[in-house]
């Protein structure tokens, strides 16, 4: 039996993570695919169960490691890179405009 092209969308559908167009396509697909309907039925209770979790109680299960501290550094690096790209782009436009002005004179 061939694998359904929507086989991995059940979790995203149940959790509401599909884009509106993808959600509509998946809902149309559900009417004709028993395998996907069964997959959705199996995990349909997850949003309710996840809603019952106490975020404060989850801390005991989450390990705080160096990777959690990397996010701010990565964001800072991305901002710095973007700032440099903008600066280069502005310089390029300024040089181009200056060259055009010189040629026009």
- CATH code where residue 39 lies: 1.10.10.1320
- Tell me the pTM: 0.51
CA nearest neighbour of 14 among 4, 24, 23, 3:
23
DSSP 8-state secondary structure symbol assigned to residue 65: -
- The predicted-structure confidence for 46-92, as pLDDT tens digits, reads as follows 888 888 877 777 777 766 665 556 777 778 888 898 899 999 999 99
Q: Are residues 16 and 42 in the same domain?
A: yes
What is the domain range of residue 79?
70-105
Q: How many domains does the chain have?
A: 2
Q: Residue 8 — pLDDT band, cuts 50, 70, 90?
A: confident
| Rounded (5°) CA angle 68-53-66 | 10
Residue 35 domain flag: yes
**24: in domain:** yes
Give the separation between CA 29 and CA 9, rounded to whole angstroms: 11
Given this model, what pLDDT does residue 13 score?
92
Is there a single domain that holds both residue 8 and residue 49? yes
Whether the CB-CB separation of 36 and 7 falls below 8 Å is answered with yes
């Amino acid at each position: 039996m061939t694998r359904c092209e929507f086989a991995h969308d059940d979790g995203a559908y149940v959790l509401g993570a599909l884009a509106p167009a993808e959600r509509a396509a998946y809902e149309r697909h559900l009417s004709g695919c028993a395998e996907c309907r069964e997959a959705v039925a199996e995990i349909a209770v997850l949003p309710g169960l996840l809603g019952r979790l106490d975020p404060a109680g989850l801390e005991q299960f989450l390990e705080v490691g160096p990777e959690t501290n990397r996010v701010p550094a990565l964001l800072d690096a991305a901002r710095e890179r973007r700032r440099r790209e903008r600066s280069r782009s502005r310089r390029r436009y300024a040089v181009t405009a200056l060259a055009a002005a010189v040629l026009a004179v």
